[in-house]
A = this chain, B = another copy of it.
Amino acid sequence: MAKKEEKIEKKTTFNISKEDNFSEWYTDIIQKAELADIRYNVKGCIVFQPWSVLSMEKMYHYMEKALQRKGHKPYWFPTLIPETNLKLESSHIGGFTPEVFWVTSHGNDEPIEEKLALRPTSETAMYPMFSLWIRSYKDLPFKIYQRANVFRYESKATRPFLRSREFHWIEAHCAHATQEDAMKQVHEDMETTKEVLHDIYCLPFIFFERPAWDKFPGAERTFAADVLNPDGKVVQQPSTHLLKQSFSKAFNVQFKDKDEKDKFAWITCYGPAISRIFASVIIVHGDNKGLVLPWKIASKQVVIVPINNSPNLIKKAEELKKQLEEKEIDVETDLTEKRPGEKFYFWEMKGVPLRIEIGEKEIENKELTIFRRDLGTKDKIKEKDLISYIEKTSKEYQTAMIKKSDSLFNERIVEVSQKEDIKKALEEGKIVKTGFCSVGMDGAKCAEIVEKEVGAQVRGTKLEKEIPSGKTSKCSICKKKAQAVVYIAKQY
């Protein structure tokens, strides 16, 4: 059990630079903004605190609404998966077994009937049920999702939100009649990612098709969104996979087609890991004053700070709070004993988009001072204009955050043609665009050189096919004619 003495001292200043020392900045902000407590006594498991949970609940909301709009139905599958299910598809079990937590007993060490895995992902829980539910082409496409927590016994060092032994995600799984329909689903998943991660969470990313040697265990094709950290490492965010038919064969997911023939379905799966995506929200948007949360997913969207706790200021604060809540805006009122400056500092660190300051003068003039977290600017408005101001500014806020993060991301991509230049560019925190001999298994050898000599990974090719030419016409490693334009980066 954790002891009182272990209590971490809370620092009162935020003096670590995101640019100079990203890793320490990240650790510090998680503690200061009270996003997660890492002192829980199971390795790799953390306690998610209210400030992150409130935001992640909103992230869930938007992702689930998008999936439902596109015809996915919500399910809750069991957490426990029998070992026999896991063993049915050999490439899958090969990929996941090292990371599985096993339940082997109950009560006073009595053995259970069959060894059970804590789901590392739910293909092997879901597809046996697909086999029961899907009979005819009329049942297809069969589109489902679940909100769930999953478990992976990570051997790599864990970090809160980025990599934990238990994390919180959504997994969407679909069965289709043809490979073509399945590929359409993969593209729909990528579109959903754009609509939610980019347009709502304000995160820039590139979807890459992973090369042959770096696919999801059991996948025919894997597409994954890479988000960029300030230290130049990419974080893999949602991936979507066209699975091999070995899955539908292993789990007997068959249907009677229009031609009366029994056929195996084509299955796709898509996995946005909400708690991991929240890491990117912290990292991409945060600055040296703390968090900057996008309007739509901010734990609280507005904080009202009376400059002192005199009764008429408190009354005004309550009045404004009520007015905003009627518009379904999440508002916090800070009536603590702290000085105004401390309060300002605190809510900036917490990343609240807008702060309303009220003092005696504001009341007298029927005015409000509103501070905007992303730009650090203040507006003075008439109190009666509050709602229209917030409605307008919240839209601008969302747009401005998207624009800013997109532009920072795009600046970080450079085109190079020499191995030495790859190394240099990566050291400067860039993503490298370059020519490559092949993204089929033929290219694995050059990829190994990239891994060993540059310490980076070939992330894959962009969706919009890019034809090797000019700087990208030759493989930057073996100098053979390039078959593909690939992107190289260090992976978190």
Contact = CB atoms under 8 A, between A and B. Distances in A.
Interface of A: 1-4, 6-7, 37, 39-43, 45-50, 53-54, 57, 73-82, 84-85, 88, 97-109, 112-113, 116, 118, 125, 128-129, 131-133, 135, 144, 149, 151, 153, 166, 168, 251-252, 254
Given A74-B54, A80-B166, A132-B2, A43 B113 contact: yes
A99 B128 CA distance: 27
19 contacts: A1-B84, A1-B252, A2-B132, A3-B131, A4-B254, A40-B128, A41-B128, A42-B80, A42-B116, A47-B76, A76-B149, A78-B166, A79-B151, A97-B107, A100-B106, A100-B107, A101-B105, A103-B104, A112-B153
A136 B251 CA distance: 56
A49 B1 CA distance: 39
A47 B168 CA distance: 19
B102 A98 contact: no
Nearest to A40: B78
A53 to B, nearest CB: 4
Contacts of A4: 131-132, 252, 254
A82 B42 CA distance: 7
Nearest to A124: B1
Contact of A153 (B46, B57, B104, B106): B106
A188 B75 CA distance: 32
Contacts of A88: 1
A7 B47 contact: no
Contact of A128 (B2, B77, B107, B113): B2
A78 B42 contact: yes
A74 B102 contact: no
B45 A78 contact: yes
A82 B41 contact: yes
Contacts of A153: 106-107, 112
Contact of A107 (B37, B99, B103, B113): B99
Contacts of A113: 43
Contacts of A101: 80, 103, 105-106, 112, 116
B103 A103 contact: yes
B85 A41 contact: yes
Q: Name the 7 nearest CB pairs between A and B, nearest first.
A: A45-B78, A50-B73, A48-B76, A106-B153, A53-B74, A1-B128, A98-B107
A337 B128 CA distance: 29
